[in-house]
Amino acid sequence: MTDTPNIENDHFRDIDSDRLFANDASAHAPRILLLYGSLRDRSFSRLMTEEAARVLTRFGAETKTFNPSGLPLPDDAEADHPKVQELRDLVSWSEGMVWCSPERHGAMTGIMKAQIDWIPLSLGAVRPTQGKTLALMQVNGGSQSFNAVNQLRILGRWMRLLTIPNQSSTPKAFLEFDDNDRMMPSPNYDRMVDVMEELVKFTLLTRGRKDYLVERYSERKETGEALIKRVNQRAG
């Protein structure tokens, strides 16, 4: 059962338990970036994000929230646009993220998607999202739905984020917040707390070894082949 002639042994690695179970030497608080998907004056995705940030802080995390107002549409500005740079710097700073979108027309909002589309898979030699954790939430104007979080989960996988299993979907969000824009006690609030607790646990568990967790045979092989090709080039 170990006959694998298609594998190139020079690039195959046994699982390294020392690296996989190494103690995380990081002493700082987990760094969590929160994104929301609505620009309304009373945006329930923003209010939900603010509640999540409070809970994350209670769990010992450091949080930053990106305000998408003023962010240009993807490809409608250069990457040096101040709002694009702000977003990308925050993503690079973070060790985990929370994405919270309203559901509009059965999907995430364009505002939410635009933020994700401005986050590149690579910045030079750095992959700003790969191996970081991600938690997903959505708010609904009507009955319970999971369309937005399901789409966000696909995007999280595409961005090579470690998307945690739990997620939050809040129906009739306009009934969940009081006149002071604070979320009232409810099973929906409890579910949000569950998601943030799980996010912090997964972030603490993986951040010190994320580079090893996403290291892959195929990329070692590709890099090795590129090196051989470069070394064997004839002098011009």
Let me know if residue 14 belongs to a domain: no
Could you give the 3-state DSSP secondary structure of residue 61?
coil
For residue 86, give the amino acid letter.
E
Picking from 10-19, 71-80, 81-90, 150-159, which range would have the lowest pLDDT averaged per residue? 10-19
Residue 152 within any structural domain of the chain: yes
**Number of other residues whose CB lies within 10 A of the CB of residue 124:** 6
- Please give the Cα distance from 44 to 141 (Å, whole number): 9
Whether 5 is covered by a domain: the verdict is no
The two three-digit tokens of residue 139, written as one number: 């708010």
The whole-angstrom separation of Cα 101 and Cα 112 is 6
227 in any annotated domain: yes
Please state the domain count of the chain. 1
Question: Is 1 inside a domain boundary?
Answer: no
For residue 181, the domain's CATH number is: 3.40.50.360
- The pTM of the full predicted model, rounded to 2 decimals, is 0.87
Structural domain including 202 reads 27-232
Query: 225 falls in which pLDDT band (50, 70, 90)?
Result: low
- Looking up tokens 């568990």, which residue turns up? 205
Q: Answer yes or no: is 17 within a domain.
A: no
| Residue 211 domain flag | yes
pLDDT digits (tens, 9 = 90+) for 83-129: 999 999 999 999 999 999 999 999 999 999 999 999 988 777 678 89
For residue 32, tell me if it sits in a domain. yes
The token duo for 87 is 């977003």
